[in-house]
Amino acid sequence: MGEIVLGISGASGAPYAIRLAEIFAQRGIQFRIVASDAARLTLAHEADSSPEKIAEQFGGFLEDNTNIAAKSASGSAKIDAVVIIPCSGTTLGKIAAGIGDNLITRSAIVALKERRKLILVPREAPYATVHLENMAKISSWGAVIIPASPGFYTHPKTIDDMVDFIVARVLDQIGIDNEVSTRWSGEEI
């Protein structure tokens, strides 16, 4: 398996990114961390964390979001998937407009042009029409949109359970076999 780009933008939901990094580490999956300046705020505020801490804890390769020459943005590098979790409305808008002005957005655009898996986990409430239109546009280009909206049919007891619900859907889309969250068996009701 090639590497995975873990893009972290400044929407609320920093714990999702941290948990995904933890699972990559547990599975020995190589990944590269790219965080925006706004993500530094949300990581600190919501999880007392930082891109450096995530790299130190879970061993991902930390990229500089201003370095658009980095491996994460290379079309020839062995990158299997780009995940932006959480994905802000700003990052969503740039991708929808084809703007690759930083390493996160450039990696996403490269994923689209190379037909790599691109998974976005947007979060906003409510969504503006521009967010919805941008999601529809990017989805129509083959990206997978996983809204940060945990389900309740698994009867989550903790915030970690709710985080895992979303992270499991991301892992499924990357193609990583997992039992991170309870799966529906069809016999619950």
Residues that bind ligand FMN (CB under 6 A): 9-12, 36, 38-39, 41-42, 45, 88-91, 123-124
Asked if residues 51 and 62 have their Cβ atoms less than 8 Å apart, the reply is yes
Angle between helical axes of 14-27 and 51-58 (0-180°, round to 10): 20
Residue 67 DSSP label: -
Select from 90, 146, 94, 151 the least CA-distant residue to 122: 146
Whole-angstrom distance, CA of residue 170 vs CA of residue 176: 9
The residue among 39 and 96 lying less far from ligand FMN, judged by its C-beta, is 39
Residue partners of 97: CB distance under 8 A and separation at least 6: none
- Smallest gap, in angstroms, from Cβ of residue 132 to ligand FMN? 13
Determine the number of helices (DSSP H) and then strands (DSSP E) in the chain: 7, 6
CB closest to ligand FMN, residue no: 10
Token reading at 98? 């084809």
- Smallest gap, in angstroms, from Cβ of residue 115 to ligand FMN? 24
Query: Cα 30–71–136 angle (5° rounding)?
Result: 85
- Smallest gap, in angstroms, from Cβ of residue 147 to ligand FMN? 11
The residue among 29 and 55 lying less far from ligand FMN, judged by its C-beta, is 55
- Smallest gap, in angstroms, from Cβ of residue 101 to ligand FMN? 9
- Smallest gap, in angstroms, from Cβ of residue 131 to ligand FMN? 7
Length of the chain: 189
